[in-house]
Amino acid sequence: MNRRQFCAAAGAGVLLAGCKNLAKPQSEPVRVFIIHGYGATVADHWFPWLARQLQQQSITALPVALPDSMQPDYRRWQDALSQAVGMPSGRTILVAHSLGTISLLHYLSRVRPHKIGGLVLVSAFGKRIPTLPEINGFNIDAYIDRCRIDFAAIARMAGNRIELISADDDTIVPVENTRYVAKELNGYLHIRATGGHFVDRDGFTQFPPVLESVERIVQMLQE
């Protein structure tokens, strides 16, 4: 072996060794944000149960506390989402319920992440609810009117990783409202015969279908 061949072989060996020592890039962990709705806290309904179930699977679950939920303020809720969620990534899954859904959809339309991991929306709505203009003195119509949703942009962010859940007997957010959101987002809608508004007074301190939706999205992100 002459000097030139030796040097070439040595150089190749160094490069090969260097490649072997390179650590494989670690993928960003999946994070699941849980966003409550009107009159609720992170400790209500099925939210704590969902967080525990995800944590038992080593999935980071992050309940988002929104201020003064009996009299929600549009700007304060958007600020709270900004502080808690920040800029979502392709490994961010967002679970929201009721008023939390339209608040989240507006937030995503405003900050416009390139990609998100997925959405699970429960009792969702994206425009005025004719049967519920206000509740307990809170002007829902005025809140909704401040929300601007770019459904097409959100659908692109999440791809085919959007699931929605509604009940035929939901008297607060009738199923037609969630069906509208599902159509606009091209999401998969699960309609249950019963369940009401999926809150604790309806018997929902646990909600396996939401967990199953999150698990499906996590699996898709891992493929």
Taking only the tens place, the pLDDT of each residue in 105-155 is 999 999 999 999 999 999 999 999 999 999 999 999 999 999 999 999 999
pTM of the model: 0.88
Range(s) of the domain holding residue 164: 29-222
70 vs 1, higher pLDDT: 70
**Number of compact structural domains in the chain:** 1
79, 180 Cβ separation under 8 angstroms = no
Sign of the CA dihedral running 94, 100, 105, 110:
negative
The answer to whether residue 21 is domain-embedded is no
Q: How far apart are CA 102 and CA 178, in angstroms?
A: 11
Max CA distance (Å), the chain: 90
The answer to whether residue 193 is domain-embedded is yes
- The CATH code of the domain that includes 105 is 3.40.50.1820
Q: How far apart are CA 152 and CA 186, in angstroms?
A: 9
As annotated, the active-site residues are 98, 170, 197
Helix (H, G, I), strand (E, B) or coil at 126: coil
The answer to whether residue 1 is domain-embedded is no
Q: Quick one: angle between helices 151-158 and 99-111, nearest 10?
A: 80
